[in-house]
Amino acid sequence: MIRIKTNEEVELIRESALLVSSTLAELASILKPGITTAQLDKRAEEFILSHQAIPSFKNYRGYPFATCISVNDAVVHGFPTDKALKEGDLVSIDVGVYKNGFHGDSAYTFGLSPVLEEHQLLMRVTRESLMIGIEKAISGNRVGDVSNAIQEHAERKHHFGVVRELVGHGVGKQLHEDPQVPNYGKKGAGPKLKDNMVIAIEPMINLGTRDVVYDSDGWTVRTRDGKYSAHYEHTVCIKKNKADILSSFSDITTQEKNNAALFSDY
Ligand code: MF3
Ligand code: CO
């Protein structure tokens, strides 16, 4: 069942989503070679707790950390570890927060300079796929219109692998609500989008094959061929002519630009 939110509920989700964005911006300001993903996770958890919120992911179906940090060939749901990051790494950070009864969910992929050109393109195309999907997230369209737009851009135009096993989702009182929002599909298919539905759109795009495998930790999803992967996610509210993006990348990209250790192509 797809829950339509009241305007008041949308504002509460926006507050949570913007706290996720500030958390990602905070991490962007400290990202550099030598730091460990466990240190990033700790900073994120402290930041979230200090803003009267709790990390949505911790203990979600037994997930043990505040963040998912997926490096290089890890696609999503990577465990933070004590391994130091290094130049050339692609670091996908996914954060969710729960505040005032509602979740927000957003993710961003950072590159530690220097980043190989093929990885720069992967990051750009994945971010474009997200924005192209969001353009279709308007009332009257169907979920398949969003899915198809993402697939067309990433797969047909750029020949990257679109991960099938994991999908976007409704967001609200629950972190994962209906509908599922795949990153592949047919125009005109699936549930109809209506005003004040809130969904997370989150393309996971691989440089090589779309196929993925699970690590022995039971969580970390990796590309089957070991090539790198990128992941960007926004929480958005469906509206008539243009979706209202409840999370924001603007503080993140500012930090990205100001942090010389990060690749930034803006
Ligand atoms: N943003 C991730 C998703 O929507 C959330 C993963 S939650 C976890 O799939 F706890 F399972 F990691
Ligand atoms: Co999500």
pLDDT in tens, 148-190: 999 999 999 999 999 999 999 999 999 999 999 999 999 999 9
Q: Which ligand is nearest to the CA of 163?
A: 1
Task: Calculate how far, in angstroms, residue 134's C-alpha sits from the geometric centre of ligand 2.
Answer: 14
Q: Which ligand is nearest to the CA of 60?
A: 1
Cβ(63) – ligand 1 distance below 6 Å: yes
Calculate the alpha carbon distances from 71 to 14, 75, 187 in Å: 28, 8, 32
Task: Calculate how far, in angstroms, residue 10's C-alpha sits from the geometric centre of ligand 2.
Answer: 17
Calculate the alpha carbon distances from 211 to 71, 159, 205, 241 in Å: 17, 14, 10, 35
Task: Calculate how far, in angstroms, residue 176's C-alpha sits from the geometric centre of ligand 2.
Answer: 7
Compute the distance between CA of residue 73 and CA of residue 91 in angstroms, rounded to an integer: 10
The minimum-distance atom of ligand 1 relative to the CA of 233 is 1
Report which of 168, 162, 177 is spatially closest to residue 137, judged by C-alpha positions. Answer: 168
State the alpha helices, DSSP H only, in 31-108.
37-49
Task: Calculate how far, in angstroms, residue 158's C-alpha sits from the geometric centre of ligand 1.
Answer: 26
Split at pLDDT 50, 70, 90, the class of 249 is very high
- Which residues pair with residue 230 across a beta bridge? 205
Cβ(60) – ligand 1 distance below 6 Å: yes
The minimum-distance atom of ligand 1 relative to the CA of 202 is 4
* Cβ 4 vs Cβ 194: under 8 Å: yes
The minimum-distance atom of ligand 1 relative to the CA of 176 is 4
Compute the distance between CA of residue 257 and CA of residue 9 in angstroms, rounded to an integer: 33
Split at pLDDT 50, 70, 90, the class of 265 is confident
Return the axis-axis angle of helices 143-151 and 117-135, rounded to nearest 10°.
160
Burial class (CB in 10 A: 0-12, 13-18, 19+), 191: middle
Q: Which residue has a Cα nearest atom 3 of ligand 1? A: 168
pTM for this predicted structure: 0.98
The minimum-distance atom of ligand 1 relative to the CA of 175 is 4
Contacts of residue 18, Cβ cutoff 8 Å, sequence gap at least 6: 104, 246, 247, 248
Contacts of residue 30, Cβ cutoff 8 Å, sequence gap at least 6: 39, 40, 43
112's tokens: 């530690």
Split at pLDDT 50, 70, 90, the class of 193 is very high
Task: Calculate how far, in angstroms, residue 77's C-alpha sits from the geometric centre of ligand 1.
Answer: 6
Its CATH architecture, for the domain 7-258, is: Alpha-Beta Complex (3.90)
Task: Calculate how far, in angstroms, residue 68's C-alpha sits from the geometric centre of ligand 2.
Answer: 11
Compute the distance between CA of residue 205 and CA of residue 56 in angstroms, rounded to an integer: 24
Neighbours of 102 (CB within 10 A): 25
Instruction: State mean pLDDT over 189-204.
Output: 98
Q: Which residue has a Cα nearest atom 8 of ligand 1? A: 57
- The residue ranges of every structural domain in the chain are 7-258
* Cβ 23 vs Cβ 95: under 8 Å: yes
What was the pLDDT predicted at 266? 57
Cβ(105) – ligand 1 distance below 6 Å: yes
Q: Which residue has a Cα nearest atom 10 of ligand 1? A: 57
Task: Calculate how far, in angstroms, residue 76's C-alpha sits from the geometric centre of ligand 1.
Answer: 8
Split at pLDDT 50, 70, 90, the class of 48 is very high
The minimum-distance atom of ligand 1 relative to the CA of 105 is 1
Q: Which ligand is nearest to the CA of 199?
A: 2
Instruction: State mean pLDDT over 107-118.
Output: 98
Burial class (CB in 10 A: 0-12, 13-18, 19+), 141: buried
